[in-house]
Structure 1
Amino acid sequence: MIRRIFPYPVLSVGFFATWLLFNQSVTPGQLILATFFGVTSPWLLVRLDAPPFRMRRPLMILRVLWTFAKDIAQSNLRVAKTIIASPHPPPSGFVRIVLEMRSPYGLAALACIVTGAPGTAWISYDPVDNVVVLHILDLMAEDDWAASIKTRYEKPLMEIFE
């Protein structure tokens, strides 16, 4: 019965709380709006018909997060050095990487990781050919970038989600 009204109850609570936090108010009007969004927003996800979520090696997430944290720190320093110290703009460009991973959850995690690191951006993904296009601020060697993404992130994410 409760699942009919709240298909994703944890998400409903999350939407409710997020609305109140963003508005920094607990007035009756904001409580009504938070309740409205908490009840209706998860229904939008029901229409997506996402495949069932399955995590094989949850502890591997810690390794991915540690790698990501190190990469963010290094990338911040590299981008700052490039912007401040370099008299000429770095050679930026696009890299096409053929992925093996097919899990939509793994691909979403990879997109967040790549875009979260300064100097890189996820530009497009072709699901037919399973190719992702990334923009790299300081593109030195395309093959190095592809190998780095595949070994540092794709392989562990495949262990987690596939």
Structure 2
Amino acid sequence: MKRLVAALLLAWLFARDLVLGGWATLRAILARRTARSGLVRVAYGDLPESAALLLGVLVSLTPGATTVDIDPQRREFLLHLLDLDQEDAVRRTILEEFARPLAVLFGRRP
């Protein structure tokens, strides 16, 4: 995957998650359901630190999740999730969708 393709894919994934996260947050607010929020740790593997930083920012910009801390020694994020029922989906999105284009953008082979 070339860097331009990786950048376009990353932009598409971010835009999609921005809309879907906003929609899920709106539904939760309008339904007045009580979500179980909390902190989770998500490993970011062998991404370079700059790629992990960008990923942390992207996560924080999408509704429903906020990056609280990035631990470079343990190579993981500490995230606050609005709905802990979405933990597996958030983890999958980070590890399976965002990590590959970020690795390409920052000069690593996925």
Please report the TM-score for the alignment, with normalisation by the length of structure 1.
0.60
Which residue in the other structure is 2:57 paired with? 112
Whole-angstrom distance in 1 between the partners of 2:99 and 2:87: 16
% identical equivalent positions? 27
- Give the unaligned 5+ runs of structure 1: 1-55
- Conservation of the 8 A alpha-carbon contact between 1:101 and 1:107: no
Which residue in the other structure is 1:156 paired with? 101
Whole-angstrom distance in 2 between the partners of 1:77 and 1:93: 20
1:94 CA drift (Å) = 1.5
| Map 1:1-162 → 2, pairs under 5 A | 57-86=3-32, 88-161=33-106, 162=108
Cα shift readout 1:60-109 (whole Å, capped 9, x = no counterpart): 110010011011011111101101112x3211112211111342321121
Whole-angstrom distance in 2 between the partners of 1:153 and 1:65: 10
User: Rg larger in 1 or in 2?
Assistant: 1
Whole-angstrom distance in 1 between the partners of 2:100 and 2:79: 18
Cα shift readout 1:99-125 (whole Å, capped 9, x = no counterpart): 113423211210121001011100111
Whole-angstrom distance in 1 between the partners of 2:6 and 2:52: 16
Please report the TM-score for the alignment, with normalisation by the length of structure 2.
0.85
Amino acid in the other structure paired with 1:78? A
Larger relative contact order, structure 1 or 2 (CA cutoff 8 Å, min sep 6)? 2
Which residue in the other structure is 1:6 paired with? none
Amino acid in the other structure paired with 2:48? S
Q: What is the RMSD of the two structures over their aligned residues, measured on CA atoms?
A: 1.6
- Conservation of the 8 A alpha-carbon contact between 2:45 and 2:76: no
- What count of residue pairs does the alignment treat as equivalent? 106
- Conservation of the 8 A alpha-carbon contact between 1:95 and 1:146: no
Structure with greater proportional strand content? 2
